[in-house]
Each structure stands twice: as C-alpha cells, then as structure tokens.
Chain A
Amino acid sequence: MTSASKAPLLEVKQLCHQYIGQKKILDEVSFSIESGDRVALVGDNGAGKSTLLQLIVGLIPIQSGEIMVQSLKATHERDFIKVRTMIGLVFQDPDDQLFCPSVIEDVMFGPLNQGYSLQDAEQKSLAILEQLQLTHLSQRMASDLSGGEKRLVTLATVLVMEPKLLLLDEPTNALDDKAQQRLLSVLRSLEQGMIVISHDKDFLAQLTDRSLLLKAGKLTASL
C-alpha cells in the first residue's frame, strides 16, 4: 500500500469560519472520512452545514484550519480544482446546477472540463444515465423535468466525474415519497463515500452509518 491510500479520504483539521459581523459559525471543526464512509451531517437551520460543505470544495475561501484530501493539502484555488474532481458536491437547488439546454449536455459538461474527448464524454454520460435509469430524459430540457428527475440528473452530472466522495446538501428537499425512495435506492447502490445533510431522520437512518452534529460552531459525533 502506498502512503496516499493509507491517508483518510478527507481530513478536516480545526477549521474555523466566520461571516462578517456574525458569530463564529464553525469553531475548530475536525473530522475525517474514510473511503466508503456514509456520514450524516445534522444541525439546526443556519448551523453552518452548507458552509462546511462549500469550504471542503473551496467555494468559500478558508479562513483558518486545514483541509486534506488524500494527503493533498488544499489551500489555493489550484488545489481545489483537483479536489473538486475527487469530491462531488450536489447542490440544494437543482436549478442552480443544471444550466445546459439538454440533460445529456449537462452530464457531459463535467467530463469535458476534465479533458475527455467529445466521444468519451458522451460514452461516460450515457453510461451513467443508463445506470441511474435516466436514458429517456437525455434530450429533455432541465427546466421541464420534475423535482425528482432533476435531483437524479444533478446526481448523474456529479457521478459522471467519478468522485470518491459525494457531498449531498439536502437531497430529499421537496421530493415526494416515491422520488425519495428512488433516490435512496440509487444512493445505497453507490460505492462512493458520502456526507449527507438532511433533516429527514428516516432517510438518514436508512442511508448513513454514523452522524455528525453541528451545534454552536462545534462538531460532535452523535448517534
């Protein structure tokens, strides 16, 4: 085994964050995720859960603390560009994530940015749509899809980049029972590790192995 594979997939050390004029939203938060771990991230509204996920992929600049992804210490934007190919963030609102005229193009967007050729990107995208049983949606426009379909398509757009860890920000938001069940079975079939933010206790219990509680800026393990 190389040293890289021994290191945890994601290690966060003493991460702090404070928005201007507000209390510290994250206060020396530390945790680590091994590959294949499925972790729930719970906490009240405004506790800083989404902020934490965005810090991990470098969408918000780090104020203090460390983020290590497979022993790569990420500090600058150029590090985070690499990090983002390993860690896929699925946003709360699918309309923020889907911006192409058709679903297939949206799925191809990531692989093309990773430098795959048009044919390869298309192959990969079709394969992932097939895996999620979404092939029939490939020519549809994102704004025409139902909430459940949009959610699965955003998942496809991230999965196609073959991340090792998925960050899901309230994936069950505004989904009906049927769509939730479908999402759950899709997520359970994936081998990737994931951090899931959700307020739905049943959903989390069926999907995750352990949970982290974010309260007053501090992160604690909870059962």
Chain B
Amino acid sequence: MLFLFFYEVIRLFLQKSSPNPQPYNGNVNALFKDNDSLVSKIDPRARIVGTVIFAFSVVLSDGLLALCLALLCSFTMACCAKLKLVGTLKKMAAMDAFMLYLILILPFSVPGDSFITLFGFEGSWQGLFKGLIITLKANAVVLMIFAGVSILPANVLGSALTSLKVSHKLIQLLLFTMRYLKVIGDEFQRLRRAMRARAFVLRFNWHSWKSIGYLIGMMIVRSMHRSERVVAAMKCRGYQGQFVSYHPLSWQVMDFWYCVLMSLVCSAIITLNFVGGL
C-alpha cells in the first residue's frame, strides 16, 4: 500500500509539469492551491490523517458489506475532490490489471468448495471471494488516496507531514524522490542509448546480464555523486539540515467536522464487519 502511495504521488507530481503552466500571479497562496474542489478546502493534515485511518480500517476489514461501503465513500470523496475521470480510471485500471491476476490465481490456491476444474486443478469459491475482497480493499484505499492526498502539491505535502511530526529524513526522501526521479530516469535513458549506440542488444545471455548490472551499478554511483553535489548546492544557499516549512497551515472548524465525519465512516466500516454475517 505504501509503495502504491509513493508511486502515485510521484506520478502525479510528474504530471503536474504540464506544458502550459499558469503564469505566476504574484499571490503566494496560489502556490499552494491544488484545485478548487471541496476537498482542497480541507486542511492537508486532516486529509492525510483521515486517509491513513480510513486505509487501516479498510485493510483490516473482511466483510463484503463493509468494503462496499468503503468503496462508496472513496467514490464520494473522489467526486468531491473533482478528480479527472479519464486519468483516474486509467490509473485504477493499471492497478486492477494486477488485481485480475489475483482473482485468476487465488481460486486455485485457496482450498474450499470447487466450482471449476482446469487441467486437473480445482478452483474454489472461497478463493474467488478472497480475490474480490482484496480487489475491493485496494480500490477503496487507492481511490481515497487519490482524492485525499495525491492532489496535494509537493510543498504542501512536505509542510503538512512536517507539522504531523513525520521524520524529516522521510519527508526529504519523499520530496527528493519526486524531484530527481525524472533526472535519474533521463540518466538511465542516456546510458541505455549510449549502450545501444555501441550495438548492444538485450539478449538472454551472460554478456547482457553483466552489462545491465554495470548499468544499474553506474546509476547508483552517479546518483550518489549527484546527491553529494545537490547537498553541497543546498548548503551554499544556507541549508543547515532542515527544511524551512513555509506553507501556511490553518486549522478551521470545517477540518474538525471532516475529522468527525471520517471517524464516523471508519467506525461504520469496522462495525459492518461484525453484523449481517457477510
């Protein structure tokens, strides 16, 4: 889940670099605005904490009814966040393709009442059910992350995590990953092109594996050197080991009600696990 979270945040970050960005209008608050949706008015801290609690209550749930409610909540949240339909669906589809494998494989690996026999292997209803449950969980959590957290601009995310007392090192790792992923990716492409220019073709042989090993090794060495230069450049501009957190955060009445609402939703999801027998 954590991986998906980072992956999505990074991807969204890269998407933000649209070819025609809005000119800076001289208002500092404009730097920190995501979009004009209802969700964007809620304090980023409340959104992060709400999403984490929601994710935990969903991951720990196993009832079909509870998970359907969770998905419904995520969907509502996504609507409130005015997520772009096509973009979001594409990302969900990428994840659900992976989930499809689970649904195909789990019936054959979970013991239970068989409903299909393929090449002598028996597929069980219980396995299929388990696959569906996992798919529902994943979709509910990821949609909630899209709606709640991933539309946050990088600097706001950093400031909010700082005020939530998340370790500075982790925040810096996250922010730097966002910034330098493209640089590292470009470097990989450059090295890869240079290899191809010398007639390298990836084949299933020792030479190929060794060369790719060298490529990855060189990437690590270069990244390390680059990180040293980046820190040096930051020091030159007065950096002393801590980011100045500058996004103005203000807690409002609305944020309180948002937290109450999220708590109620999470309680409802957890409670639904124990009623109805599903």
Task: Report which A residues bind B (CB closer than 8 A).
Answer: 54, 57, 59, 81, 84-85, 88-89, 91, 93, 95-97, 99-102, 104-105, 108-110, 112-114, 118-119, 121-122, 126, 135-136, 138-144, 157-158, 161
Interfacial chain A residues near B16, Cβ < 8 Å? 101, 141
Of the candidate stretches B81-89, B176-184, B211-219, the one touching chain A is B176-184
Most chain A Cβ neighbours within 10 Å, of B13, B26, B179, B180: B179
Most chain A Cβ neighbours within 10 Å, of B153, B179, B182, B233: B233
Q: Is the CB of A136 within 8 A of B23?
A: yes
Indicate with 1 or 0, residue by residue over B151-166, a CB within 8 angstroms of chain A CB atoms: 0011100000000000
Name the residue of chain B whose CB is nearest to the CB of A114. B238
Q: Is the CB of A101 within 8 A of B238?
A: no
Q: Is the CB of B17 within 8 A of A91?
A: no
Interfacial chain A residues near B229, Cβ < 8 Å? 91, 93, 96
Interfacial chain A residues near B23, Cβ < 8 Å? 135-136, 138-139
Known contacts A89-B236, A114-B238; 17 further A-B pairs (Cβ under 8 A): A54-B232, A59-B235, A81-B238, A84-B235, A84-B236, A85-B238, A89-B233, A96-B229, A96-B232, A99-B233, A101-B153, A101-B178, A105-B155, A108-B246, A119-B28, A126-B26, A142-B179
Within 8 A of A (CB), among B169-217: 176, 178-180, 182-183
A-B pairs with beta carbons under 8 Å apart, 14 shown? A54-B232, A59-B232, A84-B236, A99-B176, A99-B179, A101-B178, A102-B31, A109-B244, A121-B246, A122-B28, A138-B24, A140-B17, A141-B16, A143-B179
Interfacial chain B residues near A110, Cβ < 8 Å? 237-238
Take A101-B179, A104-B31, A136-B23 as given contacts and tell me if A81 and B240 are in contact as well, using a CB distance cutoff of 8 Å: yes
Measured between C-beta atoms, what is the minimum distance from A177 to chain B in Å?
A: 24
Separation of A100 and B175 alpha carbons in the complex (Å): 8
Q: Is B80 an interface residue (CB 8 A)?
A: no
For chain B, the count of residues having a C-beta within 8 Å of the partner chain is 35
Q: Is B248 an interface residue (CB 8 A)?
A: yes
Name the residue of chain A whose CB is nearest to the CB of B226. A96
Measured between C-beta atoms, what is the minimum distance from A36 to chain B in Å?
A: 21
Q: Is the CB of B154 within 8 A of A101?
A: yes
Separation of A86 and B246 alpha carbons in the complex (Å): 24
Measured between C-beta atoms, what is the minimum distance from A59 to chain B in Å?
A: 5
Separation of A118 and B235 alpha carbons in the complex (Å): 20
Most chain A Cβ neighbours within 10 Å, of B19, B21, B237, B238: B237
Separation of A143 and B226 alpha carbons in the complex (Å): 15
